[in-house]
Amino acid sequence: MQAHGERDVWLNPPPFPLSTEEIDSVYESPFARRPHPSYGEAKIPAWEMIRFSVNIMRGCFGGCTFCSITEHEGRIIQSRSEDSIIREIEEMRDKTPGFTGVVTDLGGPTANMYHLKCKDEKIESACRRLSCVYPDICENMGTDHAPLISLYRRARAIKGVKRITIGSGLRYDLAVRSPEYIKELVTHHVGGYLKIAPEHTEEGVLSKMMKPGIGTYDRFKQLFDRFSREAGKEQYLIPYFIAAHPGTTDEDMLNLALWLKKNNFRLDQVQAFVPTPMALATTMYHTERNPLKKLHREGAEVVGSVRTGTQRKLHKAFLRYHDPENWPLLREALKKMGRADLIGNGKKQLIPAWQPAGTGQKAAAMVARQTREGQGVRTSTCSRSPRPGGASPRPGAKPAARGPGSFSKPGSAPRKKRTP
């Protein structure tokens, strides 16, 4: 129970893990595999995405702080039997209108946790780790991908199935433990592009996300490129990154932008952090404290939150450094950060000094407006250490006019929060 004003929120814990027989019976129920007739002929994008996909497992032991899948589905992986999955593919082939022989996904919350589990049930029942893979993969966690490789091979052999692609996000820190799995995936199940989620490049931010370092991504990419060449295929990784996550500084986003340019990535769709229910990162956002570290009355690690609309737009702009619409905002920010050396036409510079006609007008207007107000584009260091002996605010206490994550001038009244 959690109080919210005059109301209370009741939060149910994840259900007890299902056995293989139980989860088979659930997924083999007589689902219609099509939208409710009340939708008529309307196009439903979410339905189109999963229309020809098959769920092979539930649960996730990743523990990413911005995600609440573990709270919904549990930390223990519940895998269907191979026979049950094959039967669903055959039923989809025979009964689902529009099936052309292409299965768009065999996955779940994560593509490659199928049948992965703790090596010892006693250890598993007593374990209180938030993640089985952070800061490193637990020595008690089994990482054998053989059952998943077997499933892929058997599914490909089904009559009427022309191709199977993997659409679920891949946990690449697990995949590098099984080069044979990467080879199987790259050779047969990548439709030109493979989604993975490094989320960031900087250790400080990754530690708040509970994600592996970028070095693990580099090792996976080496194997991915090698097996793609061996298969005679030109294939690419599509990395996902998050802007404005709690604990992210402007310097962190700048370093990420420089990494993207160095590796020739030009992101199209980007995501800014949004505090969602049951996620640890939401706690960081609202309390500006790090719940992954010890909390006590005498002070705790402060985690700044990127709250203002301007700051959130700036962090997203770093992810799309190549978009001329963002250049005025980035130029002003780089000058404020003392990095005007990154403005120019050289290969090692982030953005050019010139502006294409008819672009960047919205960002330029925002910079001009803030300059008139005497603010300019504010830059933030976000994460700061607490004052010696400083106590954490008591529950229900009124916030001070200026504190961690606040960008108000000293002595001024706190500004209204802007909706990003």
Q: Which two tokens stand for residue 296?
A: 């006590």
Residues 267-283 have a mean pLDDT of 92
Name the phi and psi angles at 153, rounded to 5.
-65, -40
Strand-pair partners of 141: 118
Average pLDDT of the chain is 88
Mean pLDDT, residues 122-143: 95
pLDDT band at 381 (very low <50, low <70, confident <90, very high): low
pLDDT of amino acid 378 = 57
* Side-chain-side CA neighbours of residue 252 (13 Å): 27
The single residue listed with the structure tokens 């956002």 is: 285
Mean pLDDT of 76-100: 96
2-4 vs 7-9, strand pairing mode: antiparallel
Q: How confident is the model at residue 366 (pLDDT cuts 50, 70, 90)?
A: confident
Average pLDDT over residues 194-211: 96
Residue 418 has pLDDT above 60, yes or no: no
Residue 85 vs residue 8, higher pLDDT: 85
Crossing angle of helices 20-27 and 82-95, in 10° steps, is 10
pLDDT interval class at 416 (50, 70, 90) = very low
Radius of gyration from C-alpha coordinates of the chain:
24
pLDDT at 239: 92
For residues 401 and 51, the model is more confident at: 51
Average pLDDT rounded to a whole number, residues 267-296: 91
Nearest-10 crossing angle of helices 146-156, 82-95: 30
Residue 228 in this model has a pLDDT that exceeds 50: yes
Report how far residue 267's alpha carbon sits from residue 195's, in angstroms, rounded to the nearest whole number.
Answer: 13
Q: What's the one-letter identity of residue 4?
A: H
Q: What is the pTM of this model?
A: 0.84
pLDDT of residue 12: 83
Confidence tier at 377 by pLDDT (50, 70, 90):
low
pLDDT at 277 over 60: yes
Q: Does the pLDDT at position 375 exceed 80?
A: no
**What is the pLDDT confidence band of residue 39, given thresholds at 50, 70 and 90?**
very high
The pLDDT score that the predictor gives to residue 296 is 78
**Averaged over 174-198, what is the pLDDT?**
96
Using the predicted structure, report yes or no on whether residue 245 has a pLDDT greater than 70.
yes
pLDDT digits (tens, 9 = 90+) for 317-360: 999 999 999 999 999 999 999 999 999 999 999 999 999 999 98
Beta bridge partners of 296: 299
Residue 327 to residue 359: CA distance in whole angstroms? 9
pLDDT of 338: 97
Question: Is 268's pLDDT higher than 90?
Answer: no
| pLDDT of residue 409 exceeding 60 | no
| Cα separations in angstroms, 220 against 115, 117, 130, 226, 393 | 21, 22, 24, 10, 43
Residue with tokens 């990754």, as numbered in its chain: 206
List, in order, residues 6 or more apart from 318 with CB less than 8 Å away.
243, 250, 253, 254, 256, 257, 330
Which residues are CB-neighbours of 179 under 8 A, at least 6 positions away?
A: 223
Encoded tokens for 246: 């709690």
Question: Which structural domains are found in the chain, ordered by start?
Answer: 7-34+44-243 (3.30.750.210), 246-393+402-420 (no CATH)
Mean pLDDT for 99-122 is: 96
Q: What's the CA gap between 417 and 420, in Å, rounded?
A: 9
Specify the higher pLDDT residue, 249 or 394: 249
* pLDDT tens-digit map of 255-267: 999 999 999 999 9
- pLDDT of 393 reads 44
Confidence of residue 297 (pLDDT cuts 50, 70, 90): confident
d(CA 379, CA 389) in angstroms, rounded, equals: 27
